[in-house]
Amino acid sequence: MQGIKVAVDTGGTFTDICLLNDETGEIYITKVSSTPDDPALAVIEGLFKAAAACGAGPAAVSLVLHGTTVATNSLLEHSGAASALLTTDGFRDILYIGRQNRPSLYDFRAIKPPPLIPRRHTYEVRERMLHTGEVRTPLDEAQVREIARDIRFKGIVSVAVSLLHSYSNPLHESRIKEIFNEEHPDALVTLSSQILPEFREYERTCAAAISAIVRPKVDFYLKNLETGLKDRWTDVRLLIMHSGGGVVTASRARSESARTVLSGPAGGVLAGVEIGRKTGLENIITLDIGGTSTDICLIKKGEPGYTSEGEVGGYPLRLPMIDISTIGAGGGSIAWLDSGGSLRVGPHSAGACPGPACYSQKGTEPTVTDANLLLGRINARRALGDRIRLHTGLARQAILNKIGIPLGLTAEKAAEGILEVVNASMARAVRMVSVQRGHDPREYALLAFGGAGPLHAAALACDLGIPRVVIPRYPGVTSAIGMLQADVRFDLCRTLIGKISGVPPGKISEAFRDMEQEGAGRLREDNFNQVSFTRQADLRYSGQSYQITLPVSGEKLSANISEQLAGAFHEAHQREYGWRRDEQEVELVNLRLTALGRLPKINWPPAASSNGTPDPAGYREVYFGYFMNTPIYRREDLRPGYILNGPAVIEQDDSTTLLFPGMQALCDPYENLIVELGG
């Protein structure tokens, strides 16, 4: 895979491109406006621009890593394909019944999201598999054929299959897929035993249903993108980022589309891990503020949090994923007044089209970007992305008409209010992933990126008591750069429920060995040979409904592995929840294995430091409670060792960094800006 590697991060407003030249180590970045109707158009356009910038010919681009929002948007906007569900006889209402938990525990009027697949498209199949994997009732194949014909007659092309205890024995699900291949060959059939081979039938059915709903769109998009890329770069290989922080081939992403639901934000977390390693900051909170959303992740001791208890749009998604919290707040978030006259910001966004009012694309709603522009924090004379010019007058008019006049405020005071409200929402989200989980944000650094991250980071850090902010060299495309740090990753799982003292070590070893063979086989199929494995186990106290995931170390499991896991669980439970019960029986729930196929990484050597401060490129009136004549610096003029004192604005093509009075920024050997908040 030597040659040109490209990472592409598609967002709601912009598509970010990062191109790495293996031979020279140079990086080329560009941003183009996203094309929501066909995201592939922006990807191809941006790739052309980046390739042209480094003079790359058609044969030079060898690898494209891509984070896509197609699956996410399909799910959140309820715009996925009409799908059918096949489930065991007697379980037709599984998506309606769900679990007893409510969106808000004490709100009896809280409304759950509608079932992913309606009851009229849910079919019961006569069969029954026991939790041991034994067949109690054979599959009624004649009935399945009738169902397949009915689904074909209704024009439904995406089908989810989730049978009881299929995680233990997928025989019946596999046979259903074979029958559909005969009776309805155009159908895209998703099996729960392939997507999520774990116990808990509701969550497993949700995972299969989500994958079925988003699969046709993801399949169509990735097929078109692969074709478009190979028409221009004949030998290019396309890998897709998934929610677990790794990449898979496009063909696997098409068949297991649910794994791409949090595809884009995962790249930013990988970048955070690498930046933390280079700067010596083990504890980091990543803050990725884009056009439509803010993504937050806590990295402790160099490791991001992972979860298998994810939720998207109110629906459980138990696939292994980086623990990222997302809120609807970004540069394009719309400011509005609720029925009581209170100022609100988001979650609705102006998106790429029409965009904020200042984009002059017939947008009339005031947004966060309009507020930053009006207060002088964004340069109206600089182009944004590839073709957008900003117009302060349009921003002022929108803010004044929709917010200022109704509240009796000047346009500037209304803009200040918009930023205070959106910053409060972001600070609340940071507290949710830190304070509410027992982590003190004052012990962390805030790594801010995304197009709007460096604009809001200083104010957020002050509010949260975070002493240090880190701004990477290319904040607007950091998520794309992070993708260049990814490996091919498969997350495998085997449910093995039982008291840990009663599970033979040989059974645990056998399960891990089977998963290792499966993981290595998948990687070989995709032409990856550098393989490594990580083992984990889900454990709980007998009677608990939740579990803790712990590492299982060692190439060969010792004879007393059960006692070791039980002891480690007691200690982990004490750390997480503040109590332990050594006399309580510990249960094993799942065994997990991560198989990695190693990809080449970016290697940026540190640069020699020097002393000094560059001359400002100019001055501008910037609002810090009142307007101050503020020096403006170009990011490209900053060298390692340079120090800037606030107030200051640092501008670059992909983002703008804001320093408040009293703050100081140091450019480190890797060209990150390390901002100290001071007093």
Instruction: State pLDDT tens for residues 473-512.
Output: 999 889 989 998 899 999 999 999 999 988 888 889 999 9
Which whole number is the average pLDDT over 613-625?
Answer: 94
Q: How far apart are CA 249 and CA 238, in angstroms?
A: 7
The partner residues of 21 in beta bridges, in order of sequence, read 4
Helical (H) or strand (E) element with 499 = strand 488-499
What's the DSSP call for residue 257? G
How far is residue 576 from each of residues 299, 433, 569, 664, measured CA to CA in Å? Answer: 16, 14, 10, 36
Mean pLDDT of the chain: 90
The partner residues of 586 in beta bridges, in order of sequence, read 541
Task: Give the relative orientation of helices 171-183 and 141-153 as an angle to the nearest 10 degrees.
Answer: 50
| Both structure tokens of 422 | 């959106």
The pLDDT of residue 387 is 60
Q: Which residue has the tokens 């037709």?
A: 92
User: Does pLDDT of 179 surpass 70?
Assistant: yes
User: Does pLDDT of 396 surpass 60?
Assistant: yes
For the chain, domain boundaries: 4-74+219-260, 78-211, 333-421, 491-597
CATH of 4-74+219-260, one of 3.40.710.10, 3.40.50.300, 3.30.420.40, 3.65.10.10: 3.30.420.40
The pLDDT of residue 438 is 86
| Both structure tokens of 180 | 């559909």
The pLDDT of residue 383 is 59
Strand arrangement, sheet containing 586-597 = 27-33, 14-21, 4-10, 61-67, 237-241, 247-249, 488-499, 586-597, 531-541, 548-552
Instruction: For residue 4, name the pLDDT band (cuts at 50, 70, 90).
Output: confident
The pLDDT of residue 19 is 87
Distance of CA 152 to the CA centre of its chain: 35
Provide, rounded to the nearest whole percent, the portion of the chain with pLDDT above 90: 63
Helical (H) or strand (E) element with 488 = strand 488-499
How far is residue 154 from each of residues 211, 218, 384, 401, 596, measured CA to CA in Å? Answer: 20, 22, 47, 49, 41
> Dmax over Cα atoms in the chain, in whole Å?
80
Q: Hey, is 500 helix, strand or coil?
A: helix
Helical (H) or strand (E) element with 160 = strand 158-162
Provide, rounded to the nearest whole percent, the portion of the chain with pLDDT above 70: 97
Which whole number is the average pLDDT over 16-21?
Answer: 86
pTM listed for this prediction? 0.87
How far is residue 472 from each of residues 449, 481, 518, measured CA to CA in Å? Answer: 7, 10, 38
CB 365 within 8 A of CB 398: yes
User: Does pLDDT of 203 surpass 90?
Assistant: yes
Q: How far apart are CA 123 and CA 89, in angstroms?
A: 8
Report pLDDT digits (tens) over 46-84.
Answer: 888 888 777 766 567 888 999 988 888 788 777 889 999
| Both structure tokens of 150 | 């009915």
- Identify the CATH number of the domain defined by range 78-211: 3.40.1360
The amino acid sitting at 66 is: H
The pLDDT of residue 348 is 87
Which sign does the torsion angle of CA 159, 163, 169, 175 carry?
A: negative
The dihedrals phi and psi of 295, each to the nearest 5 degrees, come to -115, 130
Q: How many residues does the chain have?
A: 679
CB 192 within 8 A of CB 157: no
Which whole number is the average pLDDT over 650-673?
Answer: 94
Tell me whether the omega of the peptide bond preceding residue 647 falls within 30 degrees of 0, making it cis.
yes
Q: How far apart are CA 194 and CA 177, in angstroms?
A: 12
The pLDDT of residue 57 is 66
Which whole number is the average pLDDT over 409-419?
Answer: 97
Pairing outcome for strands 655-659 and 14-21: unpaired
Q: How far apart are CA 559 and CA 237, in angstroms?
A: 44
Q: Hey, is 14 helix, strand or coil?
A: strand
The pLDDT of residue 121 is 97
Instruction: For residue 204, name the pLDDT band (cuts at 50, 70, 90).
Output: very high
Beta strands in 224-378 (DSSP E): 237-241, 247-249, 284-289, 294-300, 303-304, 306-307, 310-312, 315-317, 321-322, 325-327, 333-337, 343-349
Q: Hey, is 441 helix, strand or coil?
A: helix
The pLDDT of residue 662 is 94
What's the DSSP call for residue 647? S
Which whole number is the average pLDDT over 288-303?
Answer: 91
What's the DSSP call for residue 384? B
User: Does pLDDT of 516 surpass 70?
Assistant: yes
User: Does pLDDT of 193 surpass 90?
Assistant: yes
Which whole number is the average pLDDT over 535-550?
Answer: 92
Report pLDDT digits (tens) over 332-361.
Answer: 999 999 999 999 998 888 877 788 999 988
Task: Please give the residue that has the higher pLDDT: either 458 or 45.
Answer: 458
Q: Which residues contact 248 (CB under 8 A, 6 or more apart)?
A: 239, 240, 242, 256, 259, 488, 489, 490, 526
Report pLDDT digits (tens) over 229-268.
Answer: 888 777 888 999 999 999 999 999 999 999 998 887 889 9
The pLDDT of residue 1 is 47
Report pLDDT digits (tens) over 130-167.
Answer: 999 999 999 999 999 999 999 999 999 999 999 999 99
Q: Give the class (CATH, top level) of 491-597.
A: alpha beta
Task: Please give the residue that has the higher pLDDT: either 476 or 88.
Answer: 88
CB 324 within 8 A of CB 262: yes
Going by C-alpha positions, the residue among 601, 599, 670 that lies closest to residue 641 is 670
Q: Hey, is 103 helix, strand or coil?
A: coil
